[in-house]
Structure 1
């Protein structure tokens, strides 16, 4: 028995609202290193710009949103099913988000290794008799690529007259890892007491960074299997969805309001399960040692 037109409309709108929430949730987690300011109430411009302050990342985020809208509109026009359009729109940012799982951790491991190399270089430069700040500035040209931008910014802050402690805390905040916090803590202590064992301390920290890199790489290798399962399930789902787009008969059972509702439930459950598996395969955020610098204590 066919339902009244009003009931069909309500069912379709309810399904569209549910999947729209899934789309916004997926889009909200796609992005970059820094979260958006929590105090901002202008959520729509923030959604359009993304969570990265970098202009290049913002343009990439905006291109992805445009591609998601066009893909969703094309799927809706091809099938006549609004839920399919929303699912396709969610798949555009969602698929890279799932397929690139582990990328952030690999980058974090590479940055820890770079911090260890940079610490050794400070040790070598400071052993020549230069002051600590001059030694830091002298490592700009030879800084590893993974942290080259942060080291250049640290040197620029020191040359601009920032307090050494504040500049180093800002550098640690830019890196955002406890291994870097240990190196920065040693440098800050040297600024205050001018001890003679800085080289030994930096050498120990560099060795600890190498051990941390080895441990994290071993743990990262053990996470390969669940991440492969996430990629495999996502790829199979996208293939099934693509087959449904080119085969109208496959989508016939979902053209009724009940079918649209079932599609909403299945789609939301599948996206939620994938996000759950992805979250379980991600390492917890490491606890920081140092706090962010006080913005009022900048210039000497």
Structure 2
């Protein structure tokens, strides 16, 4: 192998290796990204993923391990390093592409749950209980989609957090302007102690129901581009599977130049899939409440 061929081979491998990291980062971008303090934090995020629970982190680690094993097997079957890298990318990338729309469906379900919880909070507060007691009283009937967040809110209030900081933390965890409206009404009630809190919560719950209906209508119109993402992903998997079974199909890419061409085509095709997927996703809703200040958590 000449020096030029070696350089071409290393360049192709580097391109796809970068693609592996890019897809892994994208697949774990369910939450807004925060600036990394160091390269060690970046590696830790890559290893643990964006999941907040141990179960989600464990699933992410198993997926990374499966990607490494699948890539190694593909390389052994074909003898082509770029094929191994592409297969390694496909393992975490395929679930991410097939899951297009699920994040928005989950967000809609959570907003519907916020509306239901708001109605229950209105009913409990109408009995004359204080705001903290009313929130704690809704734990037994809170919808499953936001049960963890409401239980954490009640635990923070019972642990001595200031009500404002606990409510802001709750809104930050839900991350939707509909919840911001509920929290803003509760925070205003803490300062003016008005008697119309129930009316305000009832209006917000009705607005949440209208918002859910609108988002579901928009989601129905996004079906076609999301089907295109799944169709292209399925075709890609079929081509990869055929290439692994019939090595004659990918034999022309066996040279260093062929590997470079395969790497460029792979990057371009995955970039196309990511672009089509992004077009089928709604922009993140704009929130208006600030993030909680940890220094104000305890009065």
Q: What TM bracket, shorter-length normalisation? A: over 0.9
Which residue number corresponds to residue 204 of structure 1?
A: 203
Per-residue CA distance 1:268-289 (angstroms, 9 max, x = gap): 1000000001011110010111
> Which residue among 21, 30, 42 is the counterpart of 1:24?
21
CA distance in 2, matches of 1:180, 1:32: 22
Q: How much has 1:34 moved relative to structure 2?
A: 3.4
Q: Any idea what SS the aligned residue of 1:53 has?
A: coil
* 1:110 counterpart = 2:144: no
> Which residue among 17, 31, 34 is the counterpart of 1:34?
31
Q: Any idea what SS the aligned residue of 2:139 has?
A: coil
* 1:253 counterpart = 2:252: yes
Q: How much has 1:51 moved relative to structure 2?
A: 2.2
* 1:161 counterpart = 2:160: yes
CA distance in 1, matches of 2:96, 2:83: 20
Which residue number corresponds to residue 184 of structure 2?
A: 185
TM-score by length of 2: 0.97
Matches within 5 A, 1:260-275: 260-275=259-274
Which residue number corresponds to residue 49 of structure 1?
A: 48
Q: How much has 1:56 moved relative to structure 2?
A: 1.1
Q: Any idea what SS the aligned residue of 1:128 has?
A: coil
CA distance in 2, matches of 1:87, 1:210: 44
Q: How much has 1:40 moved relative to structure 2?
A: 2.2
Q: How much has 1:231 moved relative to structure 2?
A: 0.6
Which residue number corresponds to residue 57 of structure 2?
A: 58
CA distance in 2, matches of 1:132, 1:62: 41
Which residue number corresponds to residue 276 of structure 2?
A: 277
The answer as to whether partners of 1:18 and 1:264 remain within 8 angstroms in 2 is yes
CA distance in 2, matches of 1:136, 1:145: 15
Q: Any idea what SS the aligned residue of 2:36 has?
A: coil
How many residues are aligned here?
Answer: 297
* 1:239 counterpart = 2:238: yes
The answer as to whether partners of 1:140 and 1:148 remain within 8 angstroms in 2 is yes
CA distance in 2, matches of 1:134, 1:141: 13
> Structure 2: which 5+ runs fail to align?
none
> Which residue among 4, 29, 32 is the counterpart of 1:7?
4
Q: How much has 1:247 moved relative to structure 2?
A: 0.6
Q: Any idea what SS the aligned residue of 2:166 has?
A: helix
CA distance in 1, matches of 2:11, 2:192: 66
CA distance in 2, matches of 1:217, 1:278: 18
Q: Any idea what SS the aligned residue of 1:296 has?
A: helix
TM-score by length of 1: 0.97
Q: How much has 1:5 moved relative to structure 2?
A: 2.6
- Structure 1 outlier segments of 4+, above 3 Å: 32-37
The answer as to whether partners of 2:97 and 2:277 remain within 8 angstroms in 1 is yes
CA distance in 2, matches of 1:261, 1:139: 60
Q: How much has 1:31 moved relative to structure 2?
A: 2.4
Once structures 1 and 2 are overlaid, which stretch shifts more, 254-263 or 70-79? 254-263
CA distance in 2, matches of 1:206, 1:140: 18
Q: Any idea what SS the aligned residue of 1:16 has?
A: helix
